Amino acid sequence: MFGPIALLRKARCKPTTRLAAVAGRAPLSRRGVVAVISMMFLVLFGSLAAAMAIAAKGNLHTASTHVHVMRALGAAETGMSVAAARLVESSSRFVVSGSNVDSGSAAAAWGSSVSAFGAVTILPPPSGFSESSYPFNIAQALANQHAADQNIVPGVGFSTPVVGNAMAETAASDYNAHYWVFTPAISLETSSSSPLCFQITYAPLANGTDVRVVSTGYDYSYVRDGVPLKRTLTQDFRLVKRVNQAVISPSRIMIGKNVMVTGDLGSTYTGVTSTNGDPVVMKSDFFGLDSVLDTKLNAYFASVKLYDVDGDNRLRINHPVEGTAIPSNSTDYDHDGAADNAFADATRDGYVDDFDIFMNHFDSNHDGKVVLSSALTLGTPSQNLTSEFVASDGSSIDDDLGLMIDSANADRNKNGVSGFVDTNNNGRWDVGEAFKDYDPLTLTNRDQVLGYRDGVIDYKDQYSKVAGRLLFRTTAAAWSAGQGANYKDRLRGPVRPGIGKSPVNYGMSTTALPDLSASAFDTARTTLAA
């Protein structure tokens, strides 16, 4: 009794199997589907893995090649920097009387003889290398300097500097056919098997005044078909005659109030034991404007005299010595019950000087600008601002000082175009006079956007008493012995010497600070008159 019932229940549980059996077909089976799908995924992931490996290998090759390209480019840039410095040094060795630098005289000075400029004094090399004989032209001076190089790479170009003819493929319309300077390759690494090096070629151009420098950087750690990877840079330089000093004098120099000097200031005066025998006296531009301001300036210069390490008449905020000597900003000098913040860095250049103190004193609304008098803001972008550099009754305090600072550094974007059309020939910009560096698209003066004659004094004006170095023939010890320990009080006002240069230099030789004589002036006067 139990058997049929059990068969019936089994049949009800699997009707498909029963029907298939009735129809005479074998039961259906899905085994192996998972294996097929797994193989498909294996092929897919395998392909992706292979593609990723190929891409990664390609990226490694690309990155490695880029590293070698940058190495070669860096070597070429190093060579260009070396060439620029050596052009300056080699040309500066020739002190000439003539001043007309035309194509003929410049070409002769480069490859023939600097005597084309008249009387010539040939100075020893400033870098101190030894040479077998003095050069008589700039090309030979360059060759002498490169001949003193170490770490020369053999088998790359020339083994010694050569002054020769132009390369065959150069065009006569572009280049001078003679007096090219070819130099050996100089390694930048200690490895001799795969050096990184640069090679410099100086090519005088056909116009006579210009020289094209070709600097090629080689990376011998990446060589294909026997040729190393290389990159080449070119830059043109022009021969000019320029005196390095803005002011140079054998007698004492006075740089008074409302005077700014752009360039080095040199004095060969050595009579420091005489009464008032200071070689240079510089006055601050900001004394005498306001009695409270004078008190602040006296406190500041007292610290400068004791703690100014490099002699630039500025105190560096983050310097361990100068920074701690900056007077306190919490002093209430005008007795209004609030701290004056007199010695803050108003120009945001990392220094505190008397210009910062001046700005903090007159900037009544603390917006970082000192608005000039209405006479100087008229027609400028600041003409609707309230004047701050004025007395309590509204009268101007010192328009000459305001105008000097606001109109200094005329070519502020350094594009070679600056100033204005002075229609009334009074030497100062007046309303209605056209600026030369005018942008017709924005309807603005490009230099005025950068602070030139904008009616305010602020950090854009980049004020300095001397935008250069102070050079003295006398020594600091001699000056101190002759005029007393307070001789530094004679030099007031910020000195900005430029990057990498010392602001004050004593004991300068005739090479760096030439002597002036009556005969030299007579020669120059005769040449100029002719």
User: By three-state DSSP, how is residue 312 classified?
Assistant: coil
Backbone angles phi, psi at 18, to 5 degrees: -65, -45
**Has residue 171 got a pLDDT over 50?**
yes
CB atoms within 10 A of CB 481: 13
pLDDT, greater one: 7 or 299: 299
What are the pLDDT digits (tens) for 138-149?
999 999 999 999
Instruction: Report the alpha-carbon distance of residue 209 to residue 103 in Å, rounded.
Output: 5
**Has residue 8 got a pLDDT over 50?**
no
CA dist list (Å): 297 to 333, 360, 365, 494: 11, 12, 21, 13
Answer positive or negative: Cα dihedral of 206, 208, 210, 211.
Answer: positive
What are the pLDDT digits (tens) for 467-479?
999 999 999 999 9
Q: Mean per-residue pLDDT for 164-170?
A: 88
What's the confidence (pLDDT) of residue 1? 39
Phi-psi region of 267 (alpha: psi -120 to 50; beta: other; left: phi over 0): beta
pLDDT, greater one: 330 or 13: 330
Q: What percent of the chain has pLDDT over 70?
A: 92
Q: Mean per-residue pLDDT for 434-455?
A: 88
Confidence band of 29 (pLDDT split at 50, 70, 90): low
Instruction: Report the alpha-carbon distance of residue 97 to residue 118 in Å, rounded.
Output: 6
CA dist list (Å): 158 to 182, 189, 212: 7, 19, 19
CB atoms within 10 A of CB 315: 25
Instruction: Report the alpha-carbon distance of residue 314 to residue 296 in Å, rounded.
Output: 15
pLDDT, greater one: 392 or 255: 255
Answer positive or negative: Cα dihedral of 351, 356, 360, 361.
Answer: positive
**Has residue 332 got a pLDDT over 90?**
yes
**Has residue 137 got a pLDDT over 50?**
yes
Q: Mean per-residue pLDDT for 1-18?
A: 46
What's the confidence (pLDDT) of residue 10? 45
**Has residue 24 got a pLDDT over 70?**
no
Structure tokens at 504: 């004050």
Q: Is the whole-model pTM more than 0.75?
A: no
What's the confidence (pLDDT) of residue 37? 78
Alpha helices in 308-435 (DSSP H): 354-362, 374-377, 399-406
**Has residue 121 got a pLDDT over 80?**
yes
**Has residue 432 got a pLDDT over 90?**
no
Phi-psi region of 258 (alpha: psi -120 to 50; beta: other; left: phi over 0): left
Q: Which of 61-70, 165-174, 459-468 has the highest mean pLDDT?
A: 459-468
Q: Mean per-residue pLDDT for 238-250?
A: 85
What's the confidence (pLDDT) of residue 277? 93
CB atoms within 10 A of CB 360: 22
What's the confidence (pLDDT) of residue 30? 61
**Has residue 130 got a pLDDT over 80?**
yes
pLDDT, greater one: 95 or 460: 460
Confidence band of 25 (pLDDT split at 50, 70, 90): low
